[in-house]
Amino acid sequence: MRNNTKQQRQREILEHYHDRFNTPAFIPDDPLGLVHAFDDPRDREIVGFWVATLAWGRRATIIDKSHQLVEAMGGEPYRFVVEHGDSPERVAAALGDWKHRTFTFADTTYFLRWLKWYYARHDSLEDAFARHLTPESTTIEPALRGFHELFFSLPDAPHRTRKHVATPARKSRCKRLCMFLRWMVRQDDRGVDLGMWTRIRPHQLCVPLDVHVERTARALGLLTRKQNDWQAVMELTDNLRRFDPEDPARYDFALFGIGVEGVEL
């Protein structure tokens, strides 16, 4: 009986705050808002991937730096990739001294080079992730592992850039890639997540484990593992599947929102 009461309280809190935060009002103050500004799916993918990669630190700073990047690209990320991807000189002329914390010019030029190489062979970034999944894949873990290997498969891929694209193979929680895939894959009638991709299913998504989500999950008894690693992501996502096995990542809105607002539980 005690466990049932605890789970009922968890469910009520998660559903209440999911409904509160999974609304269009969430978009302007979140980096996802930059992705919504584009109509071309390739622009959305490029900006989404890049913004998610830069998503550490204050949200206002992330948004500001991402705006600067998009403006330096002339507001056309896909076109910029095609025209500048293999020319560090042209990139330097366009972007100047743009950087975000430890994401520097060397990382920028490799991102552009890889994206140009990739889009010359594929129409969508979806295949870079989905190709590594099978019908038996219960989570996106194989997609994250495979994407990491593919992303760093070009000759002379800089070792320093590996810290910006995580993989479960190193036990990383992969917060930024989990967030990016949530944006691309989740589909509902709320108008926040984009739901652009169909070869990855919402039930395979994993919750992005940032400091706000972690704090809230521990307060609710949904996360007990001490380390904030990939195993912790699995524990939390498995616990959230008890409440919605088809779309556990939607509770990211609740956990994140509670943490950001400092709601006492």
In a domain, 19, yes or no: yes
In a domain, 260, yes or no: yes
pTM value is 0.96
In a domain, 75, yes or no: no
Predicted local confidence at residue 135, as pLDDT: 84
The mean pLDDT value for 173-191 works out to 97
Nearest Cα neighbor of 210 from 164, 181, 174 is: 174
In a domain, 35, yes or no: no
221's CB contacts (< 8 A; 6+ apart) are 6, 10
Q: Does 94 have pLDDT greater than 90? A: yes
Q: Does 1 have pLDDT greater than 60? A: no
The mean pLDDT value for 210-220 works out to 96
The mean pLDDT value for 83-95 works out to 93
Q: Which domain holds residue 17?
A: 1-30+173-265
223-241 tens-digit pLDDT: 999 999 999 999 999 999 9
In a domain, 178, yes or no: yes
In a domain, 67, yes or no: no
In a domain, 205, yes or no: yes
* Counted domains in the chain: 1
In a domain, 25, yes or no: yes
Average pLDDT, the chain: 95
